[in-house]
A and B are shown apart, each in its own frame.
Chain A
Amino acid sequence: MERRTLKVLMSIVFICLFSLFLLNPMLQAAEPIKIGCTISQSGKYADSGSYYKEAYLMWQDDVNASGGLLGRPVKLIIHDDESSADKAVGLYERLISGDKVDLILGPYTSTIVYPVARITEKYKMVMLQGGGTAGKIFKAGFEYMFLTLPGFSEQHSIGFFEYLKTVSQDKRPSKAAVIYGDKSASIANAAGHKARCEQYGIPVVVDEKYPADAADLTAALTKAKNMGADLLMAGTYFPDAILIARTISELKYNPKYVLLTAGVSDYKFGKELGAVSNNIMGTAWWHDSVTFSLDWTKRYKERFGRMPDYHASGAYAAAQILEQAIKATKSLDNTKLRDYIRGNSFDTVIAQGISFDERGAPSYSMVTLQWQNGDLKVVWPPKAQTAKPKAYAP
């Protein structure tokens, strides 16, 4: 009897001590929340990757300066995936099962995000990412992955057509040429362009795909000119955007509007093209002149000595949403976090009031940009406007 009492007492003391150990905030504070990710720090994606690294580190310092999360500091574990999907997959496995990280942030670019998401799904880990936009990522049925770049490849021209609605009927274009590089995002850009042309009753008279590394686009653009297309739309990256701008100028092809997609938002586009860039429109998920994130942009510039681009704001937004979800749920339970992210909207540096559908795709919030006399202006939507849109050739 006596021995039994002693045993019970000992157990109670032990349980109390153990609970104290578990609940002691001092002890917990010493244990940081570990957040793991890979970034391409070498190889072909290293340059874009550097923005992700900077943004994630900036967020880590911001959050720790304001007292951390759930009373614990945040510690990022960043590995270099060398721009290789295979490396990234192995490293995420290691982060989750070896390093036992509490949370995950996403890597850069679709080809890496897609296989990595299969790993994070397997472990039911939330992955907020600002780097993978390819359509197949959202057809895979991922339940824990969310993209922060606010717009699908098919959605780039939504803003432009919203603007066209405000233009008087006689000044609207009557025939469209849609050309695009042989890359998945460009093909999807063009599919969106064509669908919207149809919706707005503008016949597409030229529909041409060209090799992504095309050395010459004279043929496709000559065709567009000969067919009398007064709206030129393209799905581009930087090199073909440059090539199109130069070639239409050489061919003296003057459509009413020229809307390209990626590449135009790059400052080098205006710098290298000079007057040739004038009145060419492009699209972007974000631009450093958008009003709601000016403070953040300024702090980023001060800290890293360069302007952030959409990679940086997309990465920072991913971390911001994770932070807001943890604060709201007071939990590190990834399933609880996922449910909260699915059901709510978030103010971030890349978009205000961003929300997600069941595929993890974000609500649309892109900007339409235009080069006007050597300056890159936000021309749409009106609330983010820094200049009114102009025709390429009135």
Chain B
Amino acid sequence: MKSFFIFAQLLINGVLLGGVYAVMASGLSLIFGVVRVLQISHSVLIILGCYFSYSVNRTLSLDPILSLLITMPVMFFIGIAVYRLVVAPLKDAPPVAALLAFFGLILALENTIGLIWTTNYNAIHSVYQGKSFLLSGFVFSLPKTIAFGMACLVIFTLLIFLRNTETGRAIRAVSQDRDTAQILGVDVDRIFVIVFGISATLAAVGGSLMGMIYSFYPSLHWSWLGVVFSVVILGGLGQVGGAIIAALIIGVAEILAAYYIGAAWGPFVAFAILIITLVHRPQGLLGTKGQRI
């Protein structure tokens, strides 16, 4: 009985962790689905979001969640800038050029962050850190539960937006068939701009949520990149819905492995899942040819 109880508690912890992974990965998945470029600098945008949240928290004493009111719009424009300055000029270049450009962007942003905020570790103060509540005998970490709730809210809003708004439908149209969408009057360039903006906004949310749970430093995004990629590939490249399911699977798998095998095995599981997916189901959980988002 006790061992079942522990297992259930670990499941809860895994799902809470998975929620944050889902926000981190959804932006990357969205961009791949619509623009078909692998935005490998997404995790450095998450770190940037994290530092913005830290600065807002420091200067205005705003809670990390409330700080999103400021960081989300700022990051939206940074996303647009990334598209205009890095992606658009390379539209006709071979895909590897965009990949190299993103790599350059990673280094540039990482070092800029280091110059502004130093390369030291930082953490964000919040009133609910270290707090938890009991529900039917299970411990729920308050910051992680809040982060999970926020993650659900943001992803739900994104899915509603994609399904029920004119722009959302246009995004899905471009994702499914760019040329036909263009012929039918969709301004593809504008859609790309919006998608990069939304993706960076999601990075802002991911960054704030990570920042209120963990401590961070400029080059930490390399560690997150692996998790984010595992989630996106397991979910199916370009499948936002798939990414959410995959994030929960990886979150739970990490926590279970860390408890039952050993704490050092957590990240191993994420990468093992990545490799197994690539070998046996490269299209991912929900991936089918031609259908995206």
Residues of chain A having any CB pair with chain B under 8 Å: 44-47, 179, 182, 208-211, 213-220, 222-223, 226, 237-239, 242-243, 245-247, 249-252, 263, 266, 268, 271-276
Report how far A217 CA is from B213 CA in the complex, Å.
11
> Is B9 in contact with chain A by the CB < 8 A criterion?
yes
Beyond the given A214-B266, A219-B259, A238-B120, please list 4 additional residue pairs across the A-B interface where CB-CB is below 8 A. Answer: A46-B119, A218-B255, A238-B121, A276-B130
Q: Which of B170-178, B187-195, B214-222 contacts the other chain?
A: B214-222
Q: A182-B264, A211-B264, A219-B263 are in contact. Are A272 and B123 (CB under 8 A)?
A: yes
Q: Is the pair B263, A239 in contact by a Cβ cutoff of 8 Å? A: no
Q: Is the pair A246, B139 in contact by a Cβ cutoff of 8 Å? A: no
Which residue of chain A is the closest to B13 with respect to CB atoms?
Answer: A218
> Is B267 in contact with chain A by the CB < 8 A criterion?
yes
Q: Is the pair A219, B255 in contact by a Cβ cutoff of 8 Å? A: yes
> Is B105 in contact with chain A by the CB < 8 A criterion?
no
Report how far A243 CA is from B13 CA in the complex, Å.
15
Q: Is the pair B130, A219 in contact by a Cβ cutoff of 8 Å? A: no
Q: Is the pair A250, B255 in contact by a Cβ cutoff of 8 Å? A: no
* Residues of chain B in range 99-149 having any CB-CB distance to chain A below 8 Å: 114, 118-125, 129-132, 139, 141-144
Q: A219-B258, A223-B259 are in contact. Are A211 and B266 (CB under 8 A)?
A: yes
A249 contacts across to B, CB distance below 8 A:
129-132
> Is B63 in contact with chain A by the CB < 8 A criterion?
no
B123 contacts across to A, CB distance below 8 A:
239, 242, 268, 272-273
Chain B: interface size category: 35 or more
Which residue of chain A is the closest to B224 with respect to CB atoms?
Answer: A215
Q: Is the pair A252, B214 in contact by a Cβ cutoff of 8 Å? A: no
Report how far A266 CA is from B215 CA in the complex, Å.
13
* Residues of chain B in range 54-102 having any CB-CB distance to chain A below 8 Å: none
Residues of chain B having any CB pair with chain A under 8 Å: 6, 9-10, 13, 17, 114, 118-125, 129-132, 139, 141-144, 213-217, 219-220, 223, 227, 254-255, 258-259, 262-264, 266-267
Report how far A218 CA is from B255 CA in the complex, Å.
8
Q: Is the pair B120, A226 in contact by a Cβ cutoff of 8 Å? A: no
Q: Is the pair A250, B132 in contact by a Cβ cutoff of 8 Å? A: yes
Report how far A271 CA is from B131 CA in the complex, Å.
17
Residue of A208, A217, A218, A274 near B125 (CB, 8 A) is: A274
Which residue of chain A is the closest to B21 with respect to CB atoms?
Answer: A215
Which residue of chain A is the closest to B260 with respect to CB atoms?
Answer: A219
B263 contacts across to A, CB distance below 8 A:
179, 208-211, 214, 217, 219-220
A-B contact pairs, 24 of them (CB 8 A): A44-B219, A46-B119, A179-B263, A208-B264, A215-B17, A215-B223, A215-B227, A216-B258, A218-B10, A219-B259, A222-B6, A237-B121, A239-B217, A243-B214, A245-B130, A246-B130, A249-B132, A266-B121, A268-B123, A272-B125, A273-B123, A273-B125, A273-B130, A276-B129
Report how far A226 CA is from B259 CA in the complex, Å.
12
